[in-house]
């Protein structure tokens, strides 16, 4: 209390000046319409600017949460597409049971690590075994194929990127249906090579390249890229096709992991057939 009184005595002139200024300002604003309107306009402008900056900052901080929600929603909606179900005809009855006939299940995940400048590039996801992720599941983004799950722990998974010289993906030309093997040459992060397309097939620059569906990993028709260049090597029976990848691997934040509910049955049957 004594310190407070000492403070008042020491600064009483300044405090008295501030009080007189505040009282004067209140009187001016109360009894002068023009000054009051100017003051209110200025204060509204200041508070409006503050709230606008606060709102922008808050929206920016919420972008990750919003993107994760959108990724989850996209995965759910993709799982409801007709391509995710296995329809079977029994005489005149078409069985389309969403409980027992769904073949592909999509799970959203976030990319937490990624490389594009090595020969063997991998991606790390923030989802693992306890989220339903397993080895050899396909991974895609909203723009196309990303890679295949390689290893899984309880809470994380690593993915062999298309930008990995050890990975080959069965791909086809959307226009004609001719299929081959797509692989990365280890050069640029936005280009791959489609092999085994015969020379008698019609191939044009700009043709879409998509998954063939000839594996238990990816469903048919998922975009991989577009034909960028068609090479004709003398004495060879196949084209050398350069493909512009649809996914920008330097701007990859969210992906969807594809689970094939009928994969094990297909793999076991094909292995038994190969062993015969």
Q: Where are the domains of the chain?
A: 2-61, 106-275
**Tens of each residue's pLDDT in the chain, 276 residues:** 667 677 666 766 677 777 877 777 666 656 666 555 555 555 544 544 554 555 455 555 556 555 665 665 565 566 555 555 544 433 333 334 445 567 888 999 999 999 999 999 999 999 999 999 999 999 999 899 999 999 999 999 999 999 999 999 999 999 999 999 999 999 899 999 999 999 999 999 999 999 999 988 999 999 999 999 998 877 788 999 999 999 999 988 889 999 988 888 888 888 888 876
CB 186 within 8 A of CB 119: yes
Q: Per-residue DSSP letters for 3-35?
A: HHHHHHHHSHHHHHHHHHHHHHHHHHHHH-HHH
Buried b (16+ CB within 10 A) or exposed e, 113-127: ebeeeeeebbbbbeb
Domain 106-275: give its CATH code: 2.40.10.340
Q: What pTM value is reported for the model?
A: 0.67
């Amino acid at each position: 209390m004594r310190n407070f009184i000492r403070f008042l005595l020491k600064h009483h002139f300044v405090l008295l000046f501030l009080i007189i200024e505040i009282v004067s300002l209140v009187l001016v604003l109360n009894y002068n319409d023009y000054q009051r309107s100017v003051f209110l306009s200025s204060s509204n402008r200041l508070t409006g600017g503050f709230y606008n900056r606060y709102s922008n900052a808050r929206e920016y901080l919420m972008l990750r949460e919003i993107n994760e929600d959108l990724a989850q929603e996209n995965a759910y909606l993709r799982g409801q597409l007709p391509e995710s179900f296995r329809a079977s005809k029994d005489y005149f009855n078409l069985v389309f049971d969403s409980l027992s006939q769904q073949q592909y299940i999509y799970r959203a995940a976030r990319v937490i690590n990624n490389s594009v400048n090595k020969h063997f590039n991998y991606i790390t996801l923030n989802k693992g075994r306890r989220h339903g992720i397993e080895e050899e599941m396909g991974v895609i983004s909203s723009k196309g194929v990303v890679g295949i799950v390689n290893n899984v722990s309880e809470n994380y998974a690593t993915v062999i990127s298309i930008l990995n010289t050890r990975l080959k993906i069965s791909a086809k030309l959307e226009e004609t249906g001719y299929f081959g093997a797509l692989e990365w040459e280890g050069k640029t992060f936005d280009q791959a090579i489609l092999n085994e397309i015969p020379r008698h097939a019609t191939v044009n620059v700009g043709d879409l390249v998509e998954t063939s569906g000839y594996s238990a990993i990816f469903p048919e028709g998922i975009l991989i890229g577009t034909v960028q260049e068609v090479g004709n090597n003398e004495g060879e029976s196949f084209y050398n096709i350069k493909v512009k990848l649809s996914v920008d691997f330097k701007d990859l934040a969210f992906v969807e992991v594809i689970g094939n509910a009928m994969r094990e049955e297909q793999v076991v049957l094909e292995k038994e057939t190969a062993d015969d």
